[in-house]
Amino acid sequence: MTYAKQKKELKLVISIGANIPGILGDPIRTIAAMRPRIEKSIIEWIVPLNCPKIDSQNIDKSLSFQWSPLFESDPLGGPADQPRFINTVLVVDGEGFASVTPNKKAAICLMKKFLELEKIAGRRREKTEIFWGPRSLDIDFISWGELQINTEILVLPHPRLSERNFVLIPLAEVLSKAQGKLKRINSQNIWPE
């Protein structure tokens, strides 16, 4: 029996969250204000990686930006009295990624762009005594295809992804839009739940 070779998934997965006001407003306003800036940063990042495959004037049309709805979640770790987080997930794929091989140098470059965006939103990552404390903006690079990296600035795939419902549930929402929602069936007492 012969099987067709499966195309590798080169999707970029980003998680965005905030739980305190920043210079752009409350967490929802901050995330909404940063949404076009995040997309622009990704477009600017991918253009040099893609040359000359896709004209830089049309690169934004070759990418698919799929955003989840906003979700509210309890903070994990950190101070017990901090506010709840607002979270979303962005999945990026499309023709613009077809000719780009995920690689360490490019991934770190994109992470640095995300760190700059956090600064614009008022986040300061300087050494602090509070681990997993309140944040005006948190952009986590979750994965890029099958790329595996372990550096001081970036670990891919995100090491605690399976522990993060605030990433998994929004990600499932995005993927279900593209693949169709599952239909739950009645187990008729055959399958204990």
pLDDT digits (tens, 9 = 90+) for 57-82: 566 677 889 999 999 998 877 677 78
Averaged over successive runs of 10 residues, the pLDDT of the chain (193 residues) comes to: 55 93 92 95 83 58 88 81 91 82 93 93 67 82 93 90 83 80 70 67
pTM: 0.84
Look up residue 130 and give its amino acid: I
Structure tokens at 84: 């709840």
- Dihedral of CA 97/103/107/110: which sign? negative
Domain at 122, CATH number: 3.30.70.560
Residue 39 lies in a domain: yes
The predicted pLDDT at position 6 comes to 47
Residue 129 lies in a domain: yes
Domain count for the chain: 1
Range of the domain at 33: 12-179
Distance CA(114)–CA(41), nearest Å, equals 8
